Amino acid sequence: MSETSNHAGSRLDPEPIPRRDFLGLSSLGAMCASLIFAGVGIFRLPKAAVLSSPSKKFKVALPESLPAGQGFTPPGRSVALFRDEEGVYAISLVCTHLGCIVKSAPEGFECPCHGSRFAADGAVAKGPAPRALPWLQVSGAGVEYLVDEDATVPPGTKVKA
């Protein structure tokens, strides 16, 4: 430094990082950082915190006579409720592939959109669906039940009728 300091400021042999450049670079850096911060922050607004979709919990009264293995779908919901000797259970009808609504078929469910097939317990029988249809939480007893579409339970979970 002692040798070059004679020339400091000379155009021919400038200091490695002059102070002015350092300050300039740091403010440039600060500007970039704040722009990136603002850019990411902008997405805070369109990312909804409260979802406008209808409540995922609903009450349903099962019809008196529901043969074992036959599903009951409350109007406007994409859930099938079943009742057999062991109890009542609910399986989601939203295809795990890309979200179409599956239809019941002789051996379980089939999806109209890309041909996925599911067994009666929701397990995948034919692609492209990557996962089984989830079983949903059911509570209550007697005729009226509460189904929560957001809460899944392990397949085979049934509530005593």
Smallest distance from ligand FES to CB 102, Å: 7
Q: Is 55 in the site for other proteins (CB under 8 A)?
A: no
In the shown chain, the binding pattern of residues 64 to 103 toward ligand FES, with x for contact by CB under 6 A and - for none, equals: -------------------------------x-xxxx---
* Residues 83 to 122 in contact with other proteins, rule: CB under 8 A: 97-101, 110-115
Cis peptide bond prior to 106, omega within 30° of 0: no
Q: How many CA atoms lie within 13 A of 128 on its CB side?
A: 8
Shortest distance (Å) from residue 105 CB to ligand FES? 13
Show the CA angle centred on residue 59, arms to residues 137 and 84, nearest 5°.
55
Work out whether 44 is an interface residue with other proteins (CB under 8 A). no
Q: Does residue 133 bind ligand FES (CB under 6 A)?
A: no
Determine the distance from the C-alpha atom of residue 131 to the mean position of all C-alpha atoms in its chain, rounded to a whole number.
Answer: 14
Contacts for 36 with CB less than 8 Å, ≥ 6 apart: none
